[in-house]
Chain A
Amino acid sequence: MRYGTFVSTYKIQRSKLSYNLLTPKPDPNNKKSLRPERINASLRDVYALLAPYIGVRIKDQLQAVVPLALYLGLFQVFVLDYPIQEATVLCLGLVAVIIGLAVFMEGLNSGLMPFGNIIGTNLPAKAAMPVVLVVLGMLGVGVTFAEPAIGALQAFGSSIDVMKAPYLFELLNNWTLPLVLMVGAGVGFAAILGTVRFIYGWSLKPLIYVSVIPLGLLSTFFWLTPDLRSILGLAWDCGAVTTGPVTVPLVLAIGIGIANSAGKGNSSLSGFGVVTLASLFPIMAVLLLTLFVYSQITPDQIIGNAAAVKDAVSSQVSVWEQTPLVEIILGVRAIVPLVLFLGFVLFVVLRSKLTNTLVTVYGLSLCVIGMCIFNIGLTYGLGAMGTQTGEGLPGAFIQTSLVASSPIFSNLVGIIVVILFAFVLGFGATLAEPALNALGLTVQKLTNGAFKKEMLMYSVAIGVAVGISLGVAKLVLDLDLATLLLPLYVTGLTLTALSSEEFVNVAWDSAGVTTGPVTVPLVLAMGLGLGKAVSATEGFGILSLASICPIIAVLTMGLLIKIQQKSKSPA
């Protein structure tokens, strides 16, 4: 028996108190006196309320960040024998990530989500369907800006070598705003199409074919054009970046609200599909934007401009471009437009009110503050950590200046070690993702237990692990992304044609769900660091492979279950 239990058992004192003494008595002089008064909490009560409130939220993020960071750090120190650089800054950065995410997620739940829910339920009743869809599309742009991981794309832009990939450099340095806008437009279009799909109950399969086949053709064109080939990695990675903790719940809340009011929201599958489309259309949008840039400017001009800018920048860096101001500006810029837009829809279009203004304002402030802290952590924590490990990884198989005892292993063994490292990283990071657990539960319910939660989680995790390993292998062995992606997507499409609607929905959504705000920056930074160290053209593409592989894994698992059930049923 625990001593604590013993003590508390014997310390209970029982006494009685009449509730009559606590309730207000009618006062003939004051009509309002019966209404319960505002509570003034004592300092002790405030502590008792705040401690678990903060504790639970920090704990959630600790669980997401610490195991990953430990794994990376231990691998770097003990396997690569490459001491962690600037360990203090790195730790502070990770602390910033944890606190930033905790604050941001709480802000999302108490600030942004009420907006989404109110708009979702009220908008369809008060506005015509085209207006509703336009609002939804614009929302797609807003949520993309607010997505924490999108900052990672912008943050790593400067690491691109302009000589090797001029268009990639141009896009990530001078076209960041149009880039994010186009990605947002892709998400917005996906939100519209996904909602229309809810309303009319369309099957997801044809939508997948219609989106993936042009994507494949366009990508083939890019692949055949030498100047554009380096863009493919970025474009396909964008799909994974966009479907994060802001986009998915907000778009779903509004989409499902609309579908419900149209009377078609009851299907067990409503809610699925938006994530899939939101991870496909941005790819298309980025490719189209690149085509536009391609028609505007030649590689030589870009290289010329970059050289000119470099000279200008090195002379002066303004205060606004230094930490922490730049992160704060980025954070404010990410959230405020979305809030203004949601506010406009709610107050001007709907002429509605918020149920609890104080709490909403509090939540929105938390969003902004959290985003700013997270941005700082992104640069100094996750980004730095991923870059370091990425740069150190080649030390396992080739001679590098960073790792003293490199090459640690012979060429082949070293590459296997690196790929194994990537596999475990992908597997662990995916299993730790809370969104996957939720998806697993939904799927288990949908399929009446035929598809167990654990089965989904493990097949997605193995898929991501294989994807990240492939991505790392691509960088290390200098494979071509398109020659990996295209066959995988062909396989995915073939399996889609063979599978039933439920599994198609689940499988294609599972990819978007798994890439959260911790995994994305870490993997992106690692890819870029690794790419730099092995002097590959660019380090993108890992995430895109980590998106298609789980789709194939889940579809295969679904087909296996189907075959199993068939072989059982005749007997």
Chain B
Amino acid sequence: MADRHIIYLTNVKMITCVLQNGLGEDVLEAAKNAGAQGATISYAQGTGIRDRMGLLGVTIDEQKEVLRLIVSDDQADRVFEAIYLAGRLDTPGKGIMYVSNLENVATHIPQGVLDAVSE
């Protein structure tokens, strides 16, 4: 059996972004422009602020899109800001986002990329 090798990636962060349904596409595009590789998208139900706003709550869709992006330390701030601006999170009701540190990330890393790094 051939040798199996796990490469532990370090300096990895995850940006999680919970958005009102339908905003995901724009945000993802902006994140990619800022260097993000891609995202895992899931759909979820939100609760909380909607119930505390009375009738105005109907303007906030219960359906949420959750984007999870894995980025490097260097990228994190840039992508974070890009998402904030593209999603217009400074207006009410759009969504929330946060960054968390990840340890021991592992995945397939193409040989070409490894060679380029070691040079």
Q: Besides A36-B52, A49-B59, 5 other CB < 8 A contacts?
A: A36-B48, A48-B91, A53-B58, A356-B51, A359-B57
Q: Which of A38, A53, A358 contacts B59 (CB 8 A)?
A: A53
Beta-carbon contacts of A23-59 to B below 8 Å, as 1s and 0s?
0000000000000111101000110111011001000
Beta-carbon contacts of B42-79 to A below 8 Å, as 1s and 0s?
00000011011111111110000000000000000000
Inter-chain residue pair count (beta carbon < 8 A): 40
**SS class, residues of chain A in contact with chain B:** helix
Task: Name 16 A/B residue pairs within 8 A (Cβ), A-sorted.
Answer: A36-B48, A36-B52, A39-B49, A39-B53, A41-B53, A41-B92, A48-B91, A49-B59, A49-B93, A50-B59, A53-B58, A53-B59, A358-B55, A359-B55, A359-B58, A362-B55
Beta-carbon contacts of A332-362 to B below 8 Å, as 1s and 0s?
0000000000000000000000001011001
Flag if A38 contacts B54 (CB, 8 Å).
yes
Flag if A362 contacts B58 (CB, 8 Å).
yes
Q: Which of A8, A45, A359 contacts B92 (CB 8 A)?
A: A45
Chain A neighbourhood of B58, CB < 8 A:
53, 110, 359, 362-363
Flag if B22 contacts A56 (CB, 8 Å).
yes
Determine the distance from Cα of A247 to Cα of B118 in the docked complex, in whole angstroms.
63
Shortest beta-carbon distance, B96 to chain A, in Å?
12
**SS class, residues of chain B in contact with chain A:** helix
Say yes or no for B105: interface residue by CB 8 A criterion: no
Flag if A39 contacts B22 (CB, 8 Å).
no
Determine the distance from Cα of A383 to Cα of B56 in the docked complex, in whole angstroms.
35
Flag if B81 contacts A12 (CB, 8 Å).
yes
Q: Which of A8, A39, A53, A362 contacts B85 (CB 8 A)?
A: A8
Determine the distance from Cα of A45 to Cα of B94 in the docked complex, in whole angstroms.
12
Flag if A49 contacts B52 (CB, 8 Å).
no
Please classify how large the interface on chain B is, using the bins under 10, 10 to 19, 20 to 34, 35 or more.
Answer: 10 to 19
Chain A neighbourhood of B52, CB < 8 A:
36-39
Q: Which of A49, A110, A363 contacts B56 (CB 8 A)?
A: A49
Chain B neighbourhood of A46, CB < 8 A:
56
Interface residues, chain A, with chain B CB atoms under 8 Å away:
8, 12, 36-39, 41, 45-46, 48-50, 52-53, 56, 110, 356, 358-359, 362-363
Instruction: Tell me which residues from 76 to 119 in chain B have a Cβ below 8 Å from any Cβ of chain A.
Output: 81, 85, 91-93
- Chain A: which residue is nearest B92 at the CB level? A45
Chain A neighbourhood of B53, CB < 8 A:
38-39, 41
Shortest beta-carbon distance, B65 to chain A, in Å?
15
Interface residues, chain B, with chain A CB atoms under 8 Å away:
22, 48-49, 51-60, 81, 85, 91-93
- Chain A: which residue is nearest B85 at the CB level? A8
Determine the distance from Cα of A46 to Cα of B92 in the docked complex, in whole angstroms.
9
Chain B neighbourhood of A56, CB < 8 A:
22
Flag if B56 contacts A41 (CB, 8 Å).
yes
Chain B neighbourhood of A363, CB < 8 A:
58
In order of increasing CB-CB distance, the 10 nearest A-B pairs are A53-B59, A49-B59, A48-B91, A45-B92, A39-B52, A49-B93, A39-B53, A38-B52, A48-B92, A359-B58
Chain B neighbourhood of A37, CB < 8 A:
52
- Chain B: which residue is nearest A41 at the CB level? B56
- Chain B: which residue is nearest A366 at the CB level? B58
Chain B neighbourhood of A39, CB < 8 A:
49, 52-53
Max chain B C-beta neighbours (<10 A), residue from A37, A46, A48: A48
Determine the distance from Cα of A37 to Cα of B52 in the docked complex, in whole angstroms.
7
Determine the distance from Cα of A41 to Cα of B54 in the docked complex, in whole angstroms.
10
Chain A neighbourhood of B60, CB < 8 A:
49
Shortest beta-carbon distance, A158 to chain B, in Å?
39
Chain A neighbourhood of B51, CB < 8 A:
356
Shortest beta-carbon distance, A61 to chain B, in Å?
16
Chain B neighbourhood of A50, CB < 8 A:
59
Chain B neighbourhood of A362, CB < 8 A:
55, 58
Determine the distance from Cα of A363 to Cα of B57 in the docked complex, in whole angstroms.
12
Chain A neighbourhood of B85, CB < 8 A:
8, 12
Chain A neighbourhood of B49, CB < 8 A:
39
Chain A neighbourhood of B91, CB < 8 A:
48
- Chain B: which residue is nearest A54 at the CB level? B59
Determine the distance from Cα of A49 to Cα of B57 in the docked complex, in whole angstroms.
9
- Chain A: which residue is nearest B60 at the CB level? A49
Chain B neighbourhood of A356, CB < 8 A:
51
Chain B neighbourhood of A12, CB < 8 A:
81, 85
Chain A neighbourhood of B92, CB < 8 A:
41, 45, 48-49
Chain B neighbourhood of A52, CB < 8 A:
59
Shortest beta-carbon distance, B99 to chain A, in Å?
14
Determine the distance from Cα of A53 to Cα of B58 in the docked complex, in whole angstroms.
9
Determine the distance from Cα of A266 to Cα of B39 in the docked complex, in whole angstroms.
29
